[in-house]
Structure 1
Amino acid sequence: MEKHLGTLLNPHPAPSAARMGWQQAKRQANIDKVLELLQHNDDHAISLSDLRRCAGISERTLRSIFKEVFGVGPNRYLHIRRLHLVRVALSIANPNTGSVSQIACRFGFSDAGRMDSDYHRIFGEYPRQTLIRTLL
């Protein structure tokens, strides 16, 4: 079953630098950099290549970090993260002026059918239901 983003966003606490070797300290610094970049990009989708480039690490290191910290690969994590961002945006949007497709596009979804299906699988409702629920 899918992990919720809240679970994925709560990595284990970092050990102190005094107890780590230089390689572990560098790895922890890379993890901290990736987490900070993700946190500062909550208002839009961030791509794997942008994340890798901004963090200044290789794709292999980035994949390793995501598996270690979140338990899933970076592509899967970023997809689930975008779905959660869409959900938040839908829950605060005005259904009379906003649309699911506008919000989905804002977070990088171009295939509405796939996004609807993935959204339903994770949240148990379709995006339109989330948008309309704000009226209730």
Structure 2
Amino acid sequence: MRDTVRYRDARVLAAAKLVREVDRYMIDAGCRPIHISELCAHFSVGRRTLHRAFNEVVGISPIAFMRRKRLGDVHTVLLTGGSDATIKDVAIEHGFIELGRFAGAYRRLFGELPSQTLRRAQHR
């Protein structure tokens, strides 16, 4: 029983370490597109290992994790309202090319369209 617990604890710690390292890699990559195969090659892990680690630690896939982080960054920029950049500019700066999909993902995550966030920030 103890060996099972130790194995599970070691696996969870290894998964958490991998997620932290991938997170740092994603930050360093900026807004450039990152493919799962790139992450697997860089960290010398298989696709299943990478997906399991993310699902175990944060409950979502690595790509969903990256998308949420980037959407969060866009949200922060729009909320600060200090930039003259358009929503399109901000989205593209954060790696979103397909603006319709971007707006849909943004709305699902934040419950409003990017234009509504910007409008709210401007009226403060």
Report the Cα offset of residue 110 of structure 1. 0.7
Report the Cα offset of residue 119 of structure 1. 1.0
Q: RMSD of the alignment, in Å?
A: 2.8
1:75 corresponds to 2:63: yes
Residues 51-79 of structure 1 show CA distances to partners (whole Å, capped at 9, x for unaligned) of: 33443322221011111112222222222
**Residue in 2 that maps onto 1:91:** 79
* 1:1-136 alignment, distance < 5 Å: 20-21=6-7, 25=10, 28-39=13-24, 41=27, 44-45=30-31, 47=34, 48-95=36-83, 97-135=84-122, 136=124
Judge which range, 110-119 or 39-48, deviates more. Answer: 39-48
Report the Cα offset of residue 109 of structure 1. 0.7
- Residue aligned with 1:102, SS: helix
Summarize the Cα distance change of 1:133–1:44 in structure 2 as closer, same or farther, 3 Å threshold. farther
Residue segments in structure 2 that go unaligned for 5+ positions in a row: none
**Residue in 2 that maps onto 1:13:** none
- Residue aligned with 1:20, SS: helix
The AA in structure 2 aligned to 1:68 is E
Judge which range, 35-44 or 50-59, deviates more. Answer: 35-44
Residues 53-111 of structure 1 show CA distances to partners (whole Å, capped at 9, x for unaligned) of: 4433222210111111122222222222222221112222425x111111111221111
Report the Cα offset of residue 24 of structure 1. 5.7
Identical residues among aligned pairs (%): 29
Find the aligned partners of 1:42 and 1:120 in 2 and give their Cα distance.
26
Residue segments in structure 1 that go unaligned for 5+ positions in a row: 1-18
TM-score (norm 1): 0.66
Equivalenced residues, count: 116
The AA in structure 2 aligned to 1:128 is S
Normalized per residue, the structure richer in helix is 2
